[in-house]
Amino acid sequence: MKTHSLLQFVGFSILCSIGNALPSSIPLPAPPGPFAIGKVDVQFTDPTRYDLFAPSQTARSLMLHLRYPISPHSTANLQRSPYIPALAATYLEEFYELPTGAISLIQTNSFQNGKLIDVGECDRFQQQLPILLFSPGAGSLEVLYSVHQEFITSWGYITIGVDHTYDSQPVEFPDGSIVFASPVAESNTTLTAIVRTQDVISIAKHITSTDALSQWIPGYSPTHRSRPKKLGIFGHSLGGETAALAVQNHDTPFGASCSLGGPSVAELFQKGLHGPFLFEGAKLDTDFYQMLSAVWSKITGWKLAVGFQNTSHDDFSDLATLVLAVPGINVNNALGVYAYPDPVQNFHAMSEYVNAFFDFALLGRPEDDILRKPDKRYPEVVFENPS
C-alpha cells in the first residue's frame, strides 16, 4: 500500500464531512493489553553499508520508531506522540491539499519518551522484554500500521517500526531533512525487497550485539534487562515478504517471522525459509495465496497460515479504522475494498494471533489453542492449507 493512497482518502473523507467541519480528533482504537505505550524515534546509521538508492555515495541511514510498555500510571504528564512528524505532515497536507492540521487530528495511543516499565511491573517476561521489528508495505511509512504495533506493545512487547529510506515516504530525519522515494526503489521491487531485508538484519544484529536499547529507550538498563539473543519480525505486504526473507539463513538474528498478506516472489524464495512462520492473509486477495502456495512446501519447521474473511489487503493498515471516524462517506462505495463490518474486531483478532505466535515461537511458551484450531471468538478466521 502506498502512503499517498491512505492520506488522499483520509483527506477526502475529512473534506466530505458534514459542513466541511473538521472533527475534533480521529482517535486510533484503544489497545487491549495492560500496559500503556511509550515511543521514541531514533536515527540508525550503518557505516558498513552504502545506500544503493541514495543519489550520492553515503552510508545507509534509517528512522526507527520504538514503541515499548510503560506504566499506565505514568502518562499524566506525558505528551502523545504525533501520528506523523510535523514537517512531513505539513508537506503532505500541502501536497494533497488537505486542511491545515488535518493529520494532527489523528490521535495515537503512544506517549513520547515515557519510561520503560520496571522489571517488577512486568512479571510476564522476567528479565527480558521480547523485541519485534516491523516492516511496512511498499512506499508506506511504518506509522500507517500504528494500530497493530500499539496493540502488540500493550501486551509487553517492544516493537520497532522501520522506515526504509528511499522506499517509505516521506521520511523525516531529526535534522529536519525529508527524504522521498527513489524511482529505482519504486520500479524494482526485487531489489527493494533485498535492501529491506539487509536493513532489518543490520538493525537486529546491532541490537543483539550492543547496548543500543539502553541508549534509545528511557529506563532500559543492561543491568536489569539481558541482551536479546533473537528478535521476532513481522510486516505487511512487501514488509511481510521482508519478514520472510529475513529468516532464510540459519545464522539469522531472528527467531520467528510473521507475514501479514505479504507476497512471495518465487525468484527470491528458491531456497525456501525457516520457521516458525505465521502467515495472515486477506481472503478477498487471492493473488497473494497463489504466490504463497508456490513457496509453502519450501518452508521448514513450524508454519501456519490463517485467512481473514471479508478482508482485503489494505485492511491490515490503519486506514480500516481511520475512515470510520469521519462521517459522510460510504467506505465500500468509495473504494470497494474495506468490506469487513467491524475493523476494530478484525485488529483484535489479527494482533491476538500475532501475539500468541510470538509467545510460542520466540519465547518458547506452550502453543496457544488459537494456533491449533479455529476460535469461536473469531469466526472470521479460517485455517488455510496453501500447498
Give the DSSP per-residue string, 218-282.
TT--TTTSPPPS-EEEEEETHHHHHHHHTTSSTT-SEEEEEEES----GGG-TT-EES-EEEEEE
Q: Which residues contact 319 (CB under 8 A, 6 or more apart)?
A: 1, 5, 6, 9, 10, 144, 338
Give residue-wise pLDDT tens across range 27-85. Answer: 999 999 999 999 999 999 999 999 999 999 999 999 999 999 999 999 999 999 999 99
User: Which structural domain range is residue 207 located in?
Assistant: 3-383
pTM attached to this predicted model: 0.93
H or E stretch covering 379: none
Q: What is the distance, to the nearest Å, from the Cα of residue 311 to the centroid of all Cα atoms in its chain?
A: 18
Question: CA–CA separation, 25 vs 182, rounded Å?
Answer: 33
CATH code, domain with 172: 3.40.50.1820
User: What's the total number of domains in the chain?
Assistant: 1
Task: Give the pLDDT of residue 335.
Answer: 44
Residues of the chain with pLDDT under 50: 1, 3-4, 12, 15-19, 329-337, 339
Return the C-alpha cell found at 135: 516492516
